[in-house]
Amino acid sequence: MRKIFLLILSILSCVEVWAQDGIVFTFSCGDKPLKLSEMIYKSKRGLTFQVSQVQYFVSDVSVIFKDKTVKKIENSVHYVDVEIPSTLKWIPSEDFNLQNADSLEFTFGLDSLQNRSYRFRNPPENLMFWPDYLGGGYHYMKTNILYLDTENQINAFNCHIGRGQVYNADNEPVEYINNDFRVKIPIKRQGNNAVINLDISTMFDYPHAELFTDYHGIMNNQKAMKTFAENIKAAFEK
């Protein structure tokens, strides 16, 4: 009898969580839902590719209402992983309410105050660590793809965004650059939730149409990270 009672409580708790206003995270490529690990996408630069992983942080959410008032959810942080369903809905606070909401604003990644090394002790969040010699803290995003080069060979490109670096003549980092940014999008609803969608095709094509062959990884390349960060912003705002 006790087990049945606990089971009912658990079910009711889940129903309550999923009934409360929140944010759902979706992924697309163009106007269709993203399909993982299928070599079916083509960039504007003519390369065929597939998406293997997408992981990122959002933080410091604000809701802007139709009467122009703003509800800030201070110090809110959420990890999103396309392969972990439990990360694809988030209730930023107990009083998160989308009634009469007009738009949503959030930080892509973690700002300089929130991006502290070793703040996350457990996976999956702690697996987003950013090496200390590159500035420390955490990745804002990991998007890993495979693509076919001009000789039809499979290659990898890891679009990893975090703190950037300025190097001296000895190739030593002497300054670090925060690549986080604010995103503001109109409220798009899925049931009683707001939707944050990331369009992968925009992320690689607009406003900068990039060739994957120019890179392998970009963690120590601030110019490349800035370029892709501008594309990622457009990919959220599409």
Please give the chain's pLDDT, 238 residues, in tens: 444 433 443 444 444 445 689 999 999 999 999 999 999 999 999 999 999 999 999 999 999 999 999 999 988 999 999 999 999 999 999 999 999 999 999 999 999 999 999 999 999 999 999 999 999 999 999 999 999 988 999 999 999 999 999 999 999 999 999 999 999 999 999 999 999 999 999 999 999 999 999 998 899 999 999 999 999 999 999 9
Residue 150, pLDDT score? 86
Helix H segments across the chain? 2-19, 200-205, 222-237
Q: Say how many C-beta atoms besides its own lie within 10 A of residue 188's C-beta.
A: 14
Residue 14, pLDDT score? 46
CA-to-CA distance for 227 and 169, rounded, in angstroms?
23
| Position 113, amino acid | L
Reduced to 3 states (helix: H, G, I; strand: E, B; else coil), residue 85 is helix
Tell whether 3 is covered by a domain: no
Tell whether 9 is covered by a domain: no
Tell whether 7 is covered by a domain: no
Distance set, CA 49 to CA 13, 14, 44, 143, 180 (Å): 41, 38, 11, 12, 26
| Position 203, amino acid | M
Tell whether 103 is covered by a domain: yes
Tell whether 164 is covered by a domain: yes
Query: How many domains, the chain?
Result: 1
- Token code pair at residue 73: 């959810």
Tell whether 6 is covered by a domain: no
Placement of tokens 């959030």 in the chain: 106
What's the whole-model pTM score? 0.90
Tell whether 1 is covered by a domain: no
Q: Which domain holds residue 61?
A: 22-237
Tell whether 10 is covered by a domain: no
- Token code pair at residue 210: 């990039």
